[in-house]
Structure 1
Amino acid sequence: MANRRRAKLVPQCDQAIQQWKYEIANELGIGVAQSSSMAGLNYEMAGELGGAGGSSGRQEYWGFLTAREAGAVGGTITKRLIAQAETEAAQTLL
């Protein structure tokens, strides 16, 4: 299967989403290991191995998570995005 990357509608939100990802993982009691062993890999390869590909040379490894844990983090991000959109929509209607 081809690995397709979708263009982000709002690329500026990437940093906020990353921050939410770590906050939510912490709230759910899911630890994320910091690894400098993947620092020599290029971004594409690090992505395949579960690294986030940062400019600091340190990679965050999420590959040890179960599907349930990863889904809980992603689902909570989605819930927060929907709640934020609903709040903003309600404010514009007032």
Structure 2
Amino acid sequence: MARSNRKVVPESRQMLDQMKYEIAAEFGLNVGYGGRGLAGADTEFGSELGEVSDHSYGQYKGWGHLTSRENGSVGGEITKRLIRQAEQHL
């Protein structure tokens, strides 16, 4: 069976992208924000939590330089938060 990343609610794309970058910042991952050059903003929360990773990504923007584990941890956290929100609404 072929997988599809089609959104059931297309309007959710922006909210999911925002959540993705917020979680990456909390984890201290330097991904920039949608390639818009806000590299300093993405580690703000991670440094406050003391979770800034020891990687020296510097000029990197985007997700390609991260490991599969790092990318997967962001996706896993998105799933946990969405499930938590759904349970609270029940």
Give the TM-score normalised by structure 2: 0.62
Mapped to 1, the partners of 2:77 and 2:36 lie a distance apart of 25
Equivalent in the alignment of 2:76: 75
**1:14 & 1:35 partners in 2: Cα distance?**
17
Aligned to 2:85: 84
Deviation, structure 1 residue 6: 3.5
List structure 1 segments (4+ residues) > 6 angstroms apart after TM superposition: none
Q: Which has the higher strand share?
A: 1
Deviation at 1:61, TM superposition (A): 1.8
Q: Structure 2: state its 5+ residue gaps.
A: 38-60
The percent identity for this pair of structures is: 52
Q: Distance in 1 between matches of 2:6 and 2:26?
A: 29
Q: Which residue of 2 aligns with 1:23?
A: 22
For 1:6 and 1:72, locate their aligned partners in 2 and report how far apart those are by CA, in whole Å.
Answer: 18
Deviation at 1:62, TM superposition (A): 0.8
Q: For residue 7 of structure 1, report the CA deviation from its aligned partner.
A: 2.4
CA contact (8 A) 1:35 1:61 kept: no
Structure 1 residue 24 displacement after superposition: 0.2
Structure 1 stretches of 5 or more lacking a match?
A: 37-59, 90-94
| CA radius of gyration, larger in | 1
Q: Deviations over 1:25-61 (max 9, x none)?
A: 000000114378xxxxxxxxxxxxxxxxxxxxxxx52
Q: 1:32 to 1:87 in 2, by over 3 A?
A: same
